[in-house]
Homo-oligomer: A and B are copies of this chain.
Amino acid sequence: MVNETQHACSASSSSRSDGGSSSGSESSKDNSRCSTPVLDSDRHERLREKMRRRQDAGDKWFSLEFFPPRTANAAVNLISRFDRMGAGGPLFIDVTWHPAGDPGSDKETSSMIIANTAVNYCGLETILHMTCCNQTKDDITGHLQKAKRLGLKNIMALRGDPSGEEWEEEVDGFNYAVDLVKHIRNEFDDYFDICVAGYPKGHPEAESYEADLRHLKEKVFAGADFIITQLFFRPETFLKFMKDCQAIGITCPIIPGIFPIQGYHSLRQLVKLSKLEVPQEIKDVIEPIKDNDAAIRNYGVELAVSMCRELLDSGMVHGLHFYTLNREVATTEVLKRLGLWREDPRRPLPWAVSAHPKRRVEDVRPIFWASRPKSYIYRTQEWDDFPNGRWGNSSSPAFGELKDYYLFYLKSKSPREELLKMWGEELTSEESVFEVFTCYITGEPNRNGYKVTCMPWNDDPLATETNLLKDELERVNRRGILTINSQPNINGKPSTDPIVGWGPSGGYVFQKAYLEFFTSSEIVTALLKVLKKYELRVNYHIVNVKGQNITNAPDLQPNAVTWGIFPGREIIQPTVVDPVSFLSWKDEAFALWIEQWAKLYEEESPSRMIIQYIHDNYYLVNLVDNDFPLENCLWQVVEDTFELLN
């Protein structure tokens, strides 16, 4: 046993380094050790590797298919759906390619931009569909280059529906999906993982089932990594197809496409498009209840669950692909009943990671964007390097400006009317603003009976963790300390803690108490006097919209405020209070007063002028209590400030 090398190590540990060849950043590439600590191996694997690892571990998985929306509003909703359904733990999602919808454009409804948003802003492993017929080589290469640039790593290579009835093969054109597969491998080598479609009943245009199987084999041998099938209605259809594939030498993963019937009309439409026949036993059930949507959906769920069970029980199926039709309820229900929906409260890092490959090593962010991760990703999208291990040592350039507060993936989920109900149709004083903040914290309805479920700085209800501070936050907001971000101190809780835990199990997480708020210059003047007493314990940054900046931070160094210690790993410190980024954040934080709130009201209206006054005159303050093992002193700092004022 002793002679067994469990982990072979190829490091030429005793060879003297050549000073000349190992200089600068080049040497890291020559280095035999892994170049970065791996907190979450998922982030470092390609989709096909993830698939293989899950299969090897006997760990069943699912994936979700969406189509691009038609309107900007629908895009906002779809992104929220990505966030919600992403929480169930899909191995990937895929976004279909709609040739009619300008799929490669920069429009917020294009396939390309929706897939980009899923990867970068929702952190989802994503496959972008791409069709090839009726397109030039240059068009296709352009699309693929753009996809690569946006961080997409997986392509579903399809022929697409030829336009016009009388389709004829083009010489040297892209006539079949296999041409696209070959093109991708020729032009992009092994960069993309490639998926192709399989037809358990044979492609409707194929000469025969057997001929179609041969086409599929060609696609796989041309470089496809796995197969997703067209929908089917009987498990035996898929299982036979799979055996037939294996019989002719197709060994890559074949993922059954599952279509939970969600309504009479959607079924009919899909059947028409796919040229499939609905089995008589299903028609017999559906026809009598065709006007009862709920009944049909319930039946669809039953049917899907039983089919999926049979597939999984066969031992041949490791993952299930769901045609969601952009709807949540039926698919989620099926997944929950199958036990595949795993809303894992444990997070790899305290913030939502992006799936862009260039952000693979990113593991430090400023705390300021904690509630606006998509804005953070947007403002750092041009960076070539991302902070890893430390913030101060990162080679990250300056933040991009946030000019457009209405980008669809940053936009509030609530329409203007709802926001007015929450934040006040009419503001009469600064105190009426204090009330809005207080209601958001307490969850109590405002004076007009509406609950305040979001704020300009936070589009979601209060985080569970912030709830730990609810009483204190309520007290200070009532008095004009308008909090927008906070965290309690934590002195070593298990990394599996349901509220504050993150990272792999067996570790311990820590935090320094943090409080960030807007407040008046009168309060700031008193606060600064009080802070003198806490000089060695509390770090502060105080800034107004003009950039006047007061801080006691040493040498503009970042202060790590969240960190974790894990077995066999280096320290991870995912959030910092960074004095330099704070000045970028303050531009955004102040602008949100105007962009999200003031602009709800008429120009020159008293409500708008109150928000404008706050924007022009208040300060944005952040406080860190460095003594994390002791009781959080920040509340005392605030109490002392109020006392001084009285």
Contacts and interface: CB of A to CB of B under 8 A. Distances in A.
- This chain's copy number in the assembly: 2
Given A384-B22, A389-B389, A571-B573, A579 B7 contact: yes
15 contacts: A1-B528, A2-B521, A9-B556, A22-B384, A27-B384, A33-B392, A35-B393, A388-B393, A389-B390, A506-B627, A539-B568, A554-B568, A559-B567, A560-B569, A570-B573
Number of contact residues on A: which range applies? 35 or more
A27 B396 contact: yes
Given A5-B550, A524-B2, A11 B395 contact: no
Contacts of A521: 2
A580 B32 CA distance: 8
Given A389-B390, A549-B9, A573-B571, A556 B382 contact: no
Contact of A576 (B4, B563, B570): B570
Nearest to A508: B629
Given A392-B34, A570-B573, A619-B2, A397 B22 contact: yes
A548 interface: yes
Given A2-B550, A13-B583, A506-B626, A571 B571 contact: yes
A535 to B, nearest CB: 10
B2 A528 contact: yes
Interface in A559-586: 559-560, 563, 565-571, 573, 576, 578-581, 583-584
Nearest to A35: B393
Contacts of A272: none
Nearest to A8: B549
Contacts of A539: 567-568
A23 interface: yes
A558 B570 contact: yes
B536 A382 contact: no
Closest 10 CB pairs of A and B: A17-B397, A28-B395, A389-B390, A567-B626, A22-B397, A13-B583, A25-B25, A13-B584, A19-B382, A23-B384
A391 interface: yes
Most B CB atoms within 10 A — which of A4, A399, A521?
A399
A36 interface: yes
Interface of A: 1-9, 11-19, 22-28, 30-38, 41, 382-385, 388-401, 491-492, 506, 508, 510, 521, 524-525, 528, 536-537, 539, 542, 544, 548-560, 563, 565-571, 573, 576, 578-581, 583-584, 587, 619, 624, 626-629
Given A7-B556, A31-B397, A37-B393, A16 B570 contact: no
A442 to B, nearest CB: 30
Contact of A559 (B383, B506, B568, B628): B568
Nearest to A510: B565
Given A33-B580, A570-B560, A551 B17 contact: no
B16 A382 contact: yes
B25 A557 contact: no
A15 B397 CA distance: 10
Contacts of A394: 28
B9 A583 contact: yes
Contacts of A41: 555
A568 B623 CA distance: 11
B383 A5 contact: no
Given A9-B583, A528-B2, A390 B390 contact: yes
Contacts of A565: 510, 560, 563, 628
B395 A14 contact: no
Nearest to A22: B397
B571 A38 contact: no
Contacts of A560: 565, 569-571
A595 to B, nearest CB: 15
Given A560-B565, A568-B553, A14 B399 contact: yes
